[in-house]
Amino acid sequence: MKKLLAAALCAATVGACLLLQADPPKADAAAKVKLRLVDAGTGATLPGIARALPAGGAKALPLPGLYDRLKGIKNAAGAGWHVVPAGGAVTELPRAKVRIEALSGLETALATEEIDLTQNAPGEIVVKLKPLFRPEERKLVAGNTHLHLMNLTAEDSDEYLRQVPGADRLKVLFISYLERIKEDANYVTNRHAIGDQKQFAATGVLVNNGEEHRHNFGTHGEGYGHVMFLNINELVKPVSLGSGITGRGDDDRALQPGIEDARKQGGTVIWCHNASGFEGVPNTLAGRVDALNVFDGTRAGTYEDSYYRYLNVGMRFPISTGTDWFVYDFSRVYARLDGPLTIPKWLDALKAGRNSVTNGPLLSITVDGKDAGDVIALDKPKAVRVELSAVGRHDFTALELVQNGKVIATAPAKAEGDAFRAKLVREVRLDSSAWFAARITSDTKNELDRQLFAHTSPVYVDVAGARVFDVDTARLLLRRSEQAQEEIRARGKFGSDAARDKLLALYTATAKDLTKRVNERK
């Protein structure tokens, strides 16, 4: 009996030793794990992005099985970020100590988890993300008004649209048809029919295909300008204008007829690329443009270049943004609307100016309790109470109060836990009409290596029934219109002198109207 017990004990010991020898993974074996992101407050699963780095290292590790967040972007700084869909996804990590970083849109703090995979790997890694703000509590809906994809297969383009916008917490996305000689053969988003793209509805993002209507003197660069036509029923043709971009024809046709066509369809018209394009002034001052896109595809230009000038001659003009080629940044428009989300309702909120743009902090502004887009009518001069706030995960340097294009007060961004916040309250005496907006000015960059920006649409205050009208700004716009005519005469290729004069009449009509308004204010 003792011999049998000894033999059994020996066998068990040998088996245990063999089991222990088999348990430790090979040093070079990968650990398969499920990565999942959750709201630290509610426990709900979240879509977002994540990257893995060696403990103490700075070079991101590959995450096979997860979609590359910066797909299609050449020489992308901030590489290594991958999409983690709602509900999570399976990937592989090295058998080593790694650091997981994750976030969800602009709404959460950056979370960091240190994981030791040198021994047994967990089946699932759950990263808890701390919300910094909840857009839905403020009835805010995030949208991108300007996106094209190129040099992807149709399958990869569809996968991009299924994965990236939702991971960034966008709810509305506009792709657009664009023509450019030869190059547009690789514009994969051109294959979509005009209108709503219902095949992406399951992602939680409403996708609509519109048109980028544009004129160039060359294949690229400045011309009459670029405008987006959103929520149209059919293409406005010709889509592109000018022999430089189309490879044929002339520069006889202005953007104006196409804009009017889009508006007749019930479409929304957005001017692209800040101050770029000669025809922005006449079309905007005539009320043909619904909003101005800033920093959509480039950091070129400033708010002062054009946006503030339009506001300073009495325009009720919302600010907007997008990303142009690929979703290379967190840029978005937060529009405020009630009830169920639809494309028309979101665009109505944008056109009403109930919005802000940002790739970092969320801003808010009220003037005597009224929000962005509202108009306050004062019978006589008085003081108004202006309140601003900002919150984001990066140091956005300072929150600024802008009145009629000038910064009149600032409040520093202060670290509070995982967030940076700022508040500013100011009583402002008004003797004449004004507009107010909140913005930041910062050199800080976000996780995608893009310089932070944020700006609200204005709150307008009319005193004694008058809108803001600055004579010096009007004269600057007059000069800009004159310079546009000089450039068009020098660079344009026209079928006849009559065709040239007809196009330039658009600019002279604008100059005549501005001159009249200036003379009335003298």
Q: Is the pTM of this model over 0.85?
A: yes
Question: What 3-state DSSP class applies to 95?
Answer: coil
Quick one: pLDDT at residue 15?
39
Can 30-129 and 132-350 be said to share one CATH topology? Answer: no
Quick one: pLDDT at residue 78?
72
**Both structure tokens of 490:** 């020098």
Q: Which architecture does CATH list for 30-129? A: Sandwich (2.60)
Q: Give the H or E element holding residue 389.
A: strand 382-392
| Total length of the chain | 522
Cα three-residue angle 61-67-71, rounded to 5 degrees = 90
Quick one: pLDDT at residue 220?
73
Quick one: pLDDT at residue 74?
81
Q: What is the DSSP letter of 518?
A: H
| CA dist., res. 132 & res. 109, Å (int) | 6
Quick one: pLDDT at residue 17?
37
254 within 8 A of 279, measured Cβ to Cβ: yes
As a whole-number percent, the residues of the chain with pLDDT over 70 amount to 94
**CATH annotation of 132-350:** 3.20.20.140
In 3D space, the residue among 426, 402, 422 whose CA is nearest the CA of residue 411 turns out to be 422
User: Hey, how many other C-beta atoms are within 10 angstroms of the C-beta on 404?
Assistant: 18
| CA dist., res. 91 & res. 416, Å (int) | 34
Quick one: pLDDT at residue 12?
40
One-letter amino acid for residue 151 of the chain: N
Q: Tell me the H-state helices in 370-429.
A: none
Q: Name the residue ranges covered by the structural domains of the chain.
A: 30-129, 132-350, 360-469, 471-521
Q: Tens digit of pLDDT for each residue in 58-93?
A: 889 999 999 999 999 887 777 799 999 999 999 999
Q: Distances in Å between the alpha carbon of 278 and those of 271, 306, 398?
A: 11, 12, 33
Domain 360-469 has CATH 3.30.70.20: no
Quick one: pLDDT at residue 222?
79
Quick one: pLDDT at residue 300?
87
Paired residues of 140 in beta bridges: 336
Kindly give the parts of the chain with pLDDT less than 50: 1-25, 27
In 3D space, the residue among 342, 283, 341 whose CA is nearest the CA of residue 317 turns out to be 283
